Amino acid sequence: MRFCGSALLAAMSLSLGISCDKPAVTPAQAQATNQLPNRAQPKLPTVKLWLGSQEILAEVARAPQQLQTGMMFRTNVAESEGMLFVLPYTQQASFWMKNCLVPLSIGYIDPEGTIQEIHDLAPNNTNTVLSASANIRFALEVSQGWFDRNRVVTGMVIRTERGSLPETFLGRR
């Protein structure tokens, strides 16, 4: 899947191979590109997340349109806010910054809620940032540098106000 700090349709990732190189434009890709959102989505429902001792209020993107739109067209991200992407299945995630106007950092998170990777993302960069792992179920976008400023590193487990990420979003303990 490709996300901008958002997603390009799940069907697209199934019909196209994902790579870090820009593939030639296929009819499915052209159609998906024509269907990209053209404005920011309204604020999504939020959940409090704890990453070590740090707290962040994250909007939760779960539905296909929410995943696809992500932070497109947003003009700012508050220091203590972000967006948690609940991916539809465990995968090798791929995010990009098409129509994303602010610099972001992304944490790729496994199904148990452990941060596996952290990457910086540049505004409007349409090159994908592919996770090294195929075991990604969540992604967390925050203002660029937030992870470093708050000493949040790979290996940390994210918790919510309702329990672990798998308990909160996948219905398992």
Extents of the domains making up the chain: 2-169
What is the tens place of the pLDDT at every residue in 96-154?
A: 999 999 999 999 999 999 999 999 999 999 999 999 999 999 999 999 999 999 999 99
What is the tens place of the pLDDT at every residue in 58-102?
A: 999 999 999 999 999 999 999 999 999 999 999 999 999 999 999
| Rounded to 5°, angle at Cα 102 from 126 and 148 | 100
Looking at residue 38, its pLDDT comes to 85
149: three-class secondary structure by DSSP: helix
Q: Hey, which CATH number is domain 2-169, 3.10.20.30, 2.60.120.1140, 2.40.50.140, 2.60.120.460?
A: 2.60.120.1140
pTM greater than the 0.85 cutoff = no
